[in-house]
Amino acid sequence: MSANPAGGTRRDPEGRRRALAEAVVEVVAEVGVGRATHRMVAARAGVPLGATTYYFPTLADLIAAGLALVSDAIAADLASWEAAIGEAGGTAEGLSRLAAEYVRDQPKALLEYELYLAAARRPQLRPLARAWLDGMHEILAPRVGARAARAISALVDGAMLQSVVTGDPIDQAALAEAIEALTG
C-alpha cells in the first residue's frame, strides 16, 4: 500500500476519516465554523475534494466529526481536572487555577468555543457539546451539590469565554472568591 498525505494509506478509510476530522478542527480554529468549507478541509488534509463528501456528505457531518475529536480531548481534560481539583485541597482554588491555565492556550480554547457555539445553531451537534457541561457537573456535584455545581460551571464557563474574547487572563483570586460565594 502506498502512503498518502492524509495520514494513512489509500486503502485506509479510517485513516482518511481521521485525517479529515483533524483537518476540519484545524480549519475551524483558523476561520471559524461559519467559514469552513469542504474545499478548505480537503486542501488541509491533502485529499481530493470528493473524498470529503464521500466520507462526510454534508458540512454538518464533517464538523460533527471534528467536534467528536474535540469532545474526546475534552473528556481527557475533564479527567485531569477532576484529579487536579482533588489534589488542590479546595475546589475554588483548584478550579480557578485550572480555568486560568486552560485559556492560556488561546488557539485550543478558541477552537473549542467555536465548536461549542456551533452546537447552538446545529441541534445534531448538541449531544457532543454537552460533554463539557455534563462533565463539569459530574466533577463538581459530589463536592458542592447539584445546584451549586451548575452555577459554578456557568460561572467558570463565562470567565473562560470572556478571557477568550478579550485576550485578558482570568483573575484567579476573583474567580475563586466567586466560586466560594456560590458554595456557601
pLDDT tens by residue, 18-57: 999 999 988 988 888 889 999 999 999 999 999 999 999 9
In CATH, what number is assigned to the domain containing residue 17? 1.10.10
pLDDT tens by residue, 95-121: 999 999 999 988 888 877 877 777 787
Helix (H, G, I), strand (E, B) or coil at 84: helix
Distance CA 138, CA 65 (A): 25
Cα end-to-end distance, the chain, whole Å: 62
Helix (H, G, I), strand (E, B) or coil at 4: strand
Reported as type and span, the H/E element at residue 8 is strand 8-9
Tell me which residue range forms the domain holding 9.
3-57
Domains held by the chain: number: 2
Per the domain annotation, does 62 fall within a domain? no
Same domain (yes/no): 115, 146: yes
